[in-house]
Amino acid sequence: MADAPRDYYGLLGVRKDATPEELKRAYRKLARELHPDVNPDPAAADRFKEVTAAYEVLSDPEKRRVVDLGGDPLSQGAAGGGAAGGFGGFGGFGDVFEAFFGNGGPMGGGRGRRSRVRPGADALLQLSLTLDETAFGVRRELAVETAVLCDTCHGQGCAPGTSPRTCATCGGAGEIQSVQRSFLGQVMTTRACSACGGTGEQIPSPCPTCGTEGRVRARRTKTVDVPAGIEHGMRIRLAGQGEVGPGGGPAGDLYIEISEQPHDTFTREGADLHCTIGVPMTSAALGSDLVLTTLDGEEKIEIRAGSQSGAVLHLRGKGVPKLRSSVRGDLYVHVEVRTPTRLDEEQERLLRQLADLRSEDVSVSSRNAGLFGKMRDAFRQ
């Protein structure tokens, strides 16, 4: 009875519809973990042979077709099959080196020609606003200094009337290859061309404005519409308004980070506002009306008779508008009853009279006052 075909997809840990790039990534990862030079475990060496054979099979379209039809191209008698666990046509062995050395490893296969044009970086700008501005929104003109496209060469990096030429050192490949001897015999190494920086092009006549960068730094003015309800630490994104990339590459984004200034009266928690008002002891006892200046103007507040410190008055809809919503938060007014610290004789007499009328004992018992209370009573005698 014939042995069941090996699960080559399972050996690499990929799906049956995996792309060639997915196969390569999976094999590189396993090769770095299982290679005998890295992992001395004998079981790892056997596993390394298996995954190498699996990658050799699945990276070959004809052999992969045999696998998908239920066959095993490395079994005895299979057409085009090699020794199980071997490296076959040397393609898999090259990927072993690529897994350790990258695209510029000893087996060649460098990264190829690099583009002079690269995307630009994002830029970040801080914007300080008051509570009223973050609550209701504001339009601001901001001075922004970033890299912009060079007007002289329009990103080409060349003097007007000239153009880049093919690098004479690498012939436009962007790479230099050399052959060296190693324990494997002669191997080819690939490195980026130092004459052109790997771009395959040289600029004989640099732009007089930007050199060869294709961009220059400049200050410009941007209009920013800050939406109502924005909070401290939030960012506004202006797409494509950041740094222009080298070679006139596409610009990154500009982010405006909001910094909300502390308010003299209110503290903010999301869309809600909090404030504390000091109420005289007599006003808290008798009740009174106070006027509080809110974000919308003056608001009359009723302090009910007998109000205590820590009481909270809730004013609905007097907070900050919620971001991108017509709904507003609330305002919470925290009451702090203030007891007078200094009384003249008449005020003290009246308060003692009030205490007598309310049958309140304002004296301090030496029995409960402790040592310091006893000392105080002794000095009063």
* 150 known member of a binding site: yes
> 174-183, 253-262, 286-295, 351-360: which has the minimum mean pLDDT?
174-183
- 123-260: CATH architecture: Ribbon (2.10)
* 275 known member of a binding site: no
Both tokens of residue 187?
Answer: 């191997």
pLDDT at residue 212 tops 60? yes
Nearest to 309 by CA among 347, 327, 336: 336
Better-predicted residue by pLDDT, 248 or 334:
334
Q: What is the pLDDT of residue 252?
A: 92
Question: d(Cα 180, Cα 177) in Å, to the nearest integer?
Answer: 10
Class of domain 267-338: mainly beta
Both tokens of residue 54?
Answer: 């699996």
pLDDT at residue 126 tops 90? yes
The secondary structure of the chain in percent helix, strand, coil, rounded to multiples of 5, reads 25, 30, 45
Residue 337: CB atoms within 10 A of its CB come to: 18
Nearest to 95 by CA among 173, 179, 23: 23
* 158 known member of a binding site: no
Residue 35: pLDDT band (50, 70, 90) is: confident
Q: For the chain, what are the domain ranges?
A: 8-101, 123-260, 267-338, 345-380
Q: What is the mean pLDDT of residues 8-21?
A: 90
Q: Kindly report the average pLDDT of the chain as a whole number.
A: 83
pLDDT at residue 183 tops 50? yes
Better-predicted residue by pLDDT, 120 or 4:
120
Question: E strands along 193-261, which residues?
Answer: 201-202, 215-226, 235-238, 254-260
Pick among 3.30.420.40, 3.30.9.10, 1.20.1740.10, 1.10.287.110: CATH of 8-101: 1.10.287.110
* 193 known member of a binding site: yes
What are residue 220's phi and psi, to 5 degrees? Answer: -140, 170
pLDDT at residue 238 tops 80? yes
CA 261, chain centre distance (Å): 24
* 153 known member of a binding site: yes
Residues linked to residue 209 through DSSP beta bridges, in sequence order: none
Question: d(Cα 37, Cα 29) in Å, to the nearest integer?
Answer: 15
pLDDT at residue 9 tops 50? yes
What are residue 104's phi and psi, to 5 degrees? Answer: -105, 35
279-327 residue pLDDT tens: 999 999 999 999 999 999 999 999 999 999 999 999 999 999 999 898 9
Q: What is the mean pLDDT of residues 101-115?
A: 52
